[in-house]
Amino acid sequence: MLQRPRRNRKSEVIRQMVQETHVSAANLIFPLFIVDGENQKTEVASMPGIYRYSIDNMLREVESCLKLGLNSFDLFPNIDEALKDKFATESHRDESLYLRAIRAVKKEFPEACVITDVAMDPYSSDGHDGIVENGEIINDATLEVLGKMALAHARSGADIIAPSDMMDGRVGYIRKVLDENGFTNVSIMSYSAKYASAFYGPFRDALNSAPKFGDKKTYQMNPANQQEALIEARLDEAEGADFLMVKPGLPYLDVIKLLKDNTQLPIAAYNVSGEYAMIKAAIQKGWLNNQRAITEVLTSLRRAGASAILTYHAKEVLENKWL
């Protein structure tokens, strides 16, 4: 035999020499859950090792992450039910929990990259990503709310705006609002291919943001569809997106690869709460090796084409020097 591929696998040194895919701290984005109050740190029951933080403790967590080389954070608020309404007005109120959190991070750690979530569901009394009228999600009226939200985030110091709502036309609407108000340097990381997935449950527990009725299938994508992701991605790119995201990550590696092969924009992947919970449950049972399982997951997302990975494993892998 002239060709023996095993020769390139015969030692650790050679295996590392020919390794095709690498994951580093620069590729990772750490999602953080925020609650009101002081000195609050409560674990999310379905996400071992992940916590809801009050702003003071969130700043301590950000500081510890920065020392590890983890510099990018996506913030998500747990909003009191009493503050929720049909039009998500709390989402752009100047002294809201979320806007205070953004300002606090950027004041204390201006070097940190703050990514913000633009969607109505954490603030909506209906628990949906858009305005609800007679049981229907109203697309165009929702855009105005999303625009107000995005502008409030930019004014508070957000580096990247990440609309996760899946309303048609929202990237172009938000880009126009930002540019008209002088925020031409604020980026948009669009949730371009966000699927109506079964893997979001723990996240909704963390934020208490589940829909009060029905589901999200009229705006989030059908898990059976791949080409539809190209339609969404091309529209977002044309409307001014700077990143295209696929969510969830692991069940949609083919979609990440598809988008990577059809755009010059960087691809982001969200390694979502259900994926995290699944891995952690198996690790706790002793069914999977902690380090090997987690690093394999992150490597697979990079290999498929993701430049940025939102993952709840981010701090753990850096603390343990697994990358």
pLDDT of res. 141: 96
299: exposed, middle or buried (Cβ count in 10 Å: 0-12, 13-18, 19+): middle
Look at residue 238 and tell me if it is in a domain: yes
Catalytic choice (194, 216, 260, 280): 194
Tell me whether residue 267 is in a domain: yes
Residue 11, domain member (yes or no): no
pLDDT at 252: 98
Encode the chain (323 residues) as per-residue pLDDT tens digits: 999 999 999 999 999 999 999 999 999 999 999 999 999 999 999 999 999 999 999 999 999 999 999 999 999 999 999 999 999 999 999 999 999 999 999 999 999 999 999 999 999 998 899 999 998 999 999 999 999 999 999 999 999 999 999 999 999 999 999 999 999 999 999 999 999 999 998 988 887 777 888 889 999 999 999 999 999 999 999 999 999 999 999 999 999 999 999 999 999 999 999 999 999 999 999 999 999 999 999 999 999 999 999 999 999 999 999 99
In a domain, 15, yes or no: no
84 is catalytic: no
Q: Quote the pLDDT of residue 287.
A: 98
Cα angle 280, 38, 122 (rounded to 5 degrees) comes to 60
Cβ burial 164-197 (10 Å sphere, 16+ → b, else e): bbbbeebbbbbbebbeeeebeebbbbbbbbbbeb
The answer to whether residue 1 sits within a structural domain is no
**Residue 61 within any structural domain of the chain:** yes
**Of 20, 29, 13, 114, residue with least CA distance to 69:** 29
Per the structure, how many domains does the chain have?
A: 1
Q: Which amino acid belongs to residue 262?
A: N
Q: Residue 43 domain-assigned?
A: yes
Mean pLDDT taken over the chain: 96
Residue 178 has a pLDDT of 98
φ and ψ at residue 194, rounded to 5 degrees = -105, 115
The CATH number of whichever domain residue 65 belongs to comes to 3.20.20.70
Catalytic residue, chosen from 84, 148, 216, 247, is 247
Q: Which range of residues forms the domain containing residue 146?
A: 23-320
- Its pTM stands at 0.96
pLDDT of residue 201: 87
- Asked if residue 13 is part of any domain, the answer here is no
Would residue 247 show up in a list of annotated catalytic residues for this protein?
yes
Q: Is 319 annotated as a binding residue?
A: no
Give the model's pLDDT for residue 206: 83
